[in-house]
Amino acid sequence: MRAKRLFVSLDLPESIADALVRQDPGLKGVRWLSAEQIHLTLAFLGQVEAREEEILRGHLSAIRFHSFFLPLHGLGTFPAKRSPRILWLGVGQGHPHLFQLHKKVIDAALRAGLKPDLRPWHPHITLARCERISEASLRPFLREHEAFDLGMVPITAFALKSSLLTPAGSVYTNEAVVVAS
């Protein structure tokens, strides 16, 4: 078995993902993600060999967490100024259950001998990837949606996913799912 490009994420209910796809402004230089691509990344793990993945699955399946509600509101870009690369949906400020789950996933990856991305974590849901578009071009859309709020979304599981990069965007496959206790 070959190495897989892996990450751990929270998926949104299908109705929420579909509602987010319908927000696509159709701007040139903004490639909106499909409903199947919309998620919140808890940890990006990169290329993982089959043996490491097996060990990781064991550590992830041992994680215990309770379901919780996550607020979905506010749009923004990374970087915030100049030429944005990412258009995102916010998930509130400092949600304790989300950060606890993130820490547990990172700890599981480290115990499996992996090297997850350990940079400061800024939880968000990527909506679109931007290319050669200015912040000024996106400003009217962001201003129009500054009060964008989808309310509270239940989080009842997280998934280990593989990512296959294609010209049309990434294709994700669930490799394992861990359900809240």
Exactly one of 73, 122, 124, 145 is catalytic; name it: 124
Q: Give the 3-state secondary structure of residue 132.
A: coil
Rounded to an integer, what distance in angstroms lies between the CA atom of residue 41 and that of residue 64?
Answer: 18
pLDDT tens string 37-47: 999 999 999 99
Per-residue buried b or exposed e for 154-172, using 16+ beta carbons within 10 Å of the residue's own CB: ebeebbbbbbeeeeeebeb
pTM: 0.93
Residue 87 has pLDDT above 70, yes or no: yes
Phi and psi at 95, nearest 5°, equal -65, 115
Q: Are 81 and 135 in contact (CB under 8 A)?
A: yes
pLDDT tens string 96-126: 999 999 999 999 999 999 999 888 999 999 9
pLDDT, mean over the chain: 94
Closest C-alpha among 139, 169, 158, 128 to residue 64: 158
According to the model, what pLDDT value does residue 65 have? 97
The yes-or-no answer on residue 122 being catalytic is: no
Rounded to an integer, what distance in angstroms lies between the CA atom of residue 112 and that of residue 115?
Answer: 9
Query: Scanning the structure block, which residue is given the tokens 């089959």?
Result: 50
| Token pair recorded at residue 79 | 């970087």
pLDDT tens string 35-74: 999 999 999 999 999 999 999 999 999 999 999 999 999 9
According to the model, what pLDDT value does residue 1 have? 64
Phi and psi at 106, nearest 5°, equal -60, -45
CA dist 73 → 46, 57, 88 (Å): 29, 32, 10
Which CATH number applies to 4-179?
3.90.1140.10
